Amino acid sequence: MNPETIEKPKTYTLGRFIMEQERNYPAATGEFSSLLLDFTLAAKIITREVSKAGLVNILGVTGSENVHGEKVQKLDVFAHETIYKALDHTGQLCVMTSEEEEMILHIPSRYPCGKYVLNYDPLDGSSNIDSNGSIGSIFSIHRRVTPEGRGSEPDVLQPGNRQVAAGYILWGSSVMLVFSTGQGVHGFTYDSSVGEFLLSHENIRTPERGAIYSTNEGNYNRWTPGLRRYIDHLKSEDPANGRPYTARYIGSLCADVHRNLLYGGIYLYPGDTRNPNGKLRLLYEANPLSMIVEQAGGAASDGHTRILDLQPTSLHQRVPLIVGSRLDVEEAVRFIQEN
Ligand code: P6P
């Protein structure tokens, strides 16, 4: 057997993958790798609760306790606290922002502060839980900009083009972790029998153009004329250019973006007459997903500016999001700007 021809073993765990990626950076200290692995520990704990979510009614809860006398929390609160507690003592972070908390989250004074910042949406799409729909956790990691000690808002309010890592956990027909550290996009599927995320989608590349569009057309009458013309264009008959596109909308951001990432296509949550900035948050939804899609060869815009170039001004600011296959996003932006 020629050792040079040995394929990567099938059981290529996330831990091994991260350590091997770290070797590409001689200056790497391992802090970043351990931060990513700590996050996946939280993901495994949340996975255990997600798989039980549908059983709450069967297992029974009395007020805020279940039959085992355990405190029952809403899953998104549980996810929020699990991620915070998995990372607050590691000495890797100086501050966090969560979709669940109005203010920035400080590291408890009894723990050391580190050089990274975590912005996260602990459980996006939680309204889909009761219908057993897909849900996701989204994370964005920056290097701090303040010199030392406890982090503060300047550390959190950084543009997406300064992210050092981004990713999401997707609870769907399987549990997947998809992330990028700026060296491409890689997907890992959770094998509960060994309690590991195993490499399943190495170096994901998204098609330059897709044939799927994902948006809530219930808002059609509130959109700008340019955007309405774009969606009408996607629905028009032009087989030579792959139209009409197929409409696919799960109503869970991670699931819709992930499907389009793999198959090609475009996801749009634009502004409208009711919500000029749309619904999605810049720091912990648009920025991390835009980094992922761009690293896979796609594009992301608010209709006028590249998402990753936007300078955040507040923790929970909303932004219109058009993200997916590069040629589709470029075409959508042309229609939107014609207005
Ligand atoms: P709408 C879920 O609430 C969410 O934040 C995203 O996961 C999803 O893409 C979007 O909102 C769906 O919003 O207005 O279409 O129900």
Full 3-state SS string of the chain:
CCHHHCCCCCCCEHHHHHHHHHCCCCCCCCHHHHHHHHHHHHHHHHHHHHHHHHHHHHHCEECCEECCCCECCCHHHHHHHHHHHHHCCCCCEEEEEECCCCCCEECCCCCCCCCEEEEEEEEECHHHHHHCCCEEEEEEEEECCCCCCCCCHHHHCCCHHHEEEEEEEEECCCEEEEEECCCCEEEEEEECCCCEEEEEECCCCCCCCCCEEECCHHHHHHCCHHHHHHHHHHHCCEHHHCECCEECCCCCHHHHHHHHHHHCCEEEECCCCCCCCCCCEHHHHHHHHHHHHHHCCCEEECCCCEHHHCCCCCCCCECCEEEECHHHHHHHHHHHHHC
For a ligand 1 pocket test, name from 120, 216, 253 the mutation site with the most ligand atoms within 8 angstroms of its C-beta.
253
Q: Which atom of ligand 1 is nearest to the CA of 127?
A: 3
pLDDT in tens, 196-250: 999 999 999 999 999 999 999 999 999 999 999 999 999 999 999 999 999 999 9
Binned at pLDDT 50, 70 and 90, residue 36 comes out as confident
* 125 CA distance to ligand 1 middle (Å): 6
Binned at pLDDT 50, 70 and 90, residue 258 comes out as very high
Instruction: Say yes or no: domain 212-336 is CATH 3.30.420.40.
Output: no
pLDDT of the residue at 88: 96
Looking at the chain, the domain(s) classified CATH 3.30.540.10 span 3-201
User: What is the rounded average pLDDT of the residues 270-275?
Assistant: 97
pLDDT tops 60 at residue 59: no
pLDDT top residue among 31 and 317: 317
Going by CA atoms, what residue is nearest to atom 4 of ligand 1? 125
Going by CA atoms, what residue is nearest to atom 12 of ligand 1? 251
Looking at the chain, the domain(s) classified CATH 3.40.190.80 span 212-336
pLDDT of the residue at 63: 57
**Lining residues, ligand 1, CB within 6 Å:** 124-125, 127, 216, 251-253, 256, 279
CATH number of 3-201: 3.30.540.10
Binned at pLDDT 50, 70 and 90, residue 60 comes out as very low
pLDDT tops 60 at residue 62: no
User: What is the rounded average pLDDT of the residues 256-269?
Assistant: 98
pLDDT top residue among 58 and 237: 237
